[in-house]
Amino acid sequence: MQNQLSLANWKITNPSVIKFLIKIKRPMFLLFILLFMVYFAIKSVVYFADNTPAVLDSENKPGGDGSVSFTPFPSFMKPASNLNKADLPMFNAGKALAHQPWIKAPTITFARDGLGPLFNARTCLTCHVNGGRSIMPVKGDTRLDTAFLRLSIPGVDTIHGVIAEPTYGDQLQSQSTSLAHMFRHLKGLKHSVAPEAYIFPNWVYKNFSYADGTKIQLRETNIKLTKLGYGKMHPETMMGLRNAPPIHGVGLLETIKQADIDKLADEQDINGDGISGRTNIAWDFEAKKPVAGRFGLKANKASVRLQTAGAFHSDMGLSNPIFSSQSCTENQLKCNNEITGNDKEGTEISKRQLSLVVDFIKNLAVPKRRNAEKTSVLAGRSLFYETGCASCHNPSFTTGDDKDFPHLANQTIWPYTDLLLHDMGEGLADGRPDYLATGSEWKTPALWGIGLSKKVNGGQNFLHDGRARNVEEAIIWHGGEAEQTKQRFTKLNKKHRTELIEFVNSL
């Protein structure tokens, strides 16, 4: 397009060209134009061929041999299809622990109590709906419980990654076991332990215009907190909203050899492509040493097990073998004095219960591709490579060994992530560092299954805080290291933009 335009300008402004054109006959002129068109067509085909790898059969099964079909019931809670039949009862026991609500202690059953006193939700799957992501309220003045705020104050702590806000801790819990909170409609009830605050997304809207004039609306949060339960926060408190990401396929991601991820890192951007992924270094609370982070939106968790133990502790207020305290800070006296649901192992979650949930999460299947053979999807696939998406959304890995779950080992998988941190610019920054990740760095999320979000979760809420309502909005928010790629996307014509989005939705 650009070349044709400049040719037109050159024609009009240069009188000697006009003389030349008058001299030669019309057919000659048409032949000239034809040759030009053939030249550009060949050039673009060669360019695509350079950037777009051949389609492989394995792409249809992004989760390797364990990939599952998602008809007729779309859900990310299915077991990998190659999970040993003998392991299915274990999978289902873990699912029950992740799915059924936990309750306040004391109760007659030790097995399911200990919730809170402060918490965000009663089950893992309240937030990870059907194993997928959580849904943001459409209206800005609806209360948020399934996404939460991370809190910290300036300073460095290589073990915890951040220095927690002194009164509220490093995560704002919007619920408590207090009757006054649970029966909010009943007047006169007093809080035993007050929730820390109620969170509202308070959406702010703006428009974005493409070069071709197409307009879309974007929204972002302008978090509003009400009913702060424990007085003012530290004046320098940094806050970061986190929407629950999908959790299928994390077992496969865990088996990838670190060396294969390190190969993709380019911290100093030596290849000069403007993209410089790097590894976050998080603390392994079991091995008691720093290790590469792979889970969490800023890759601040070392393993699925640590992520799960952290979720039990902070998201549901359940002490466990790795994080054995209640999630109350020293300044929350009533919270510390509440009755616990500790069992004979001295915590609310036993070793066995923790392992069951970890194993359940690790075996959640990845969906097979849909519409992968469609012409428009294949065209979108080329554009995905062409515009540079694949530089961060690294298409494929081969998994390493897994002695507990051999079916997860040595699989060719297509997650579309490099599991590295990238600076995504001011528009996406939360200004809150975590271990090595700066306030504007985020881990590239896997894209497998993203096209099923609406069916699985009942809505689409993409990016770390769920602001994007579809793939297109998510792309437009890309900045920083992804700015050039985003620009290339916005310069595509509408047909090509639609094809690229169709490809992402086929993953």
- Which residue's CB is nearer to ligand HEC, number 116 or number 296? 296
For residues 135-194, which are near ligand HEC according to CB under 6 A? 146-148, 150
What is the end-to-end Cα distance of the chain in Å, rounded? Answer: 30
Exactly one of 393, 407, 469, 496 binds ligand HEC (CB under 6 A); that residue is 393
Instruction: Output 229 or 395, the one with its CB closest to ligand HEC.
Output: 395
428 part of the interface to ligand HEC, by CB under 6 A: yes
By CB under 6 A, the count of residues binding ligand HEC is: 56
Alpha helix ranges (H) inside 301-414 = 304-310, 316, 333-337, 351-362, 375-387
Residue 322 binds ligand HEC, judged by CB under 6 A: no
Applying CB under 6 A, which part among 17-25, 155-163, 256-264, 295-303 lies near ligand HEC? 295-303
- Half-sphere exposure of residue 261: CA atoms within 13 angstroms, side-chain side: 25
Task: Name residue 325's amino acid.
Answer: S
Q: Binding residue for ligand HEC (CB under 6 A) from 68, 144, 238, 304?
A: 304
Q: Which is nearer to ligand HEC, 245 or 341 (CB)?
A: 245
Let me know if 170 is exposed, middle or buried by CB neighbors in 10 A (0-12, 13-18, 19+): buried
| Residues ≥6 apart with Cβ < 8 Å to 294 | 253, 254, 261, 301, 302, 303, 419
> Among the candidate windows 31-39, 119-127, 257-265, 280-288, which touches ligand HEC by CB under 6 A?
119-127
Of residues 215-254, those binding ligand HEC (CB under 6 A): 242-245, 247, 250
Contact 440, 432 (CB under 8 A): no
Alpha helices in 135-242 (DSSP H): 179-182
Long-range contact set of residues 490-496: C-beta below 8 Å, sequence gap at least 24: 490/210, 490/211, 491/211, 492/383, 492/387, 493/212, 494/210, 494/212, 494/214, 496/379, 496/383
Site for ligand HEC in 11-40 (CB under 6 A): none
User: DSSP labels for 81-104?
Assistant: TTS-GGGHHHHHHHHHHHHSPPBP
Residue 497: in which H helix or E strand, if any? helix 494-505
In angstroms, give the least distance from the CB of 394 to ligand HEC: 10
Give the nearer residue to ligand HEC in terms of CB position, either 4 or 209: 209
What six digits make up the tokens of 45? 């085909």
Phi and psi for 352 in degrees, rounded to 5? Answer: -65, -45
Which of 496, 425, 484, 464 shows the shortest CA–CA distance to 149?
464
**Of 444, 457, 505, 506, the one binding ligand HEC by CB under 6 A:** 444
Q: Note whether 481 binds ligand HEC by CB under 6 A.
A: yes
> Is residue 297 close enough to count as binding ligand HEC by CB under 6 A?
yes
Give yes or no for residue 282 binding ligand HEC (CB under 6 A).
no
* Preceding omega of 106 cis (within 30 degrees of 0): yes
CA separation for the pair 480, 486 (Å, rounded): 10
Q: Binding residue for ligand HEC (CB under 6 A) from 422, 432, 469, 496?
A: 422
As measured in angstroms, the least distance from the Cβ of 300 to ligand HEC is: 6
Residue 261 contacts ligand HEC per CB under 6 A: no
- Among 17-25, 63-71, 213-221, 297-305, the segment contacting ligand HEC (CB under 6 A): 297-305
Q: Residue 53 carries which DSSP code?
A: P
- Pick the binder of ligand HEC from 302, 408, 474, 507 (CB under 6 A): 474
Binding footprint of ligand HEC on the chain (CB under 6 A): 98, 120-121, 124, 126-128, 146-148, 150, 242-245, 247, 250, 275, 295-298, 304, 307-308, 311-312, 315-316, 357, 361, 387-389, 391-393, 422, 424, 428, 442, 444-445, 450, 462-464, 471, 474-475, 478, 481-482, 485, 489, 504
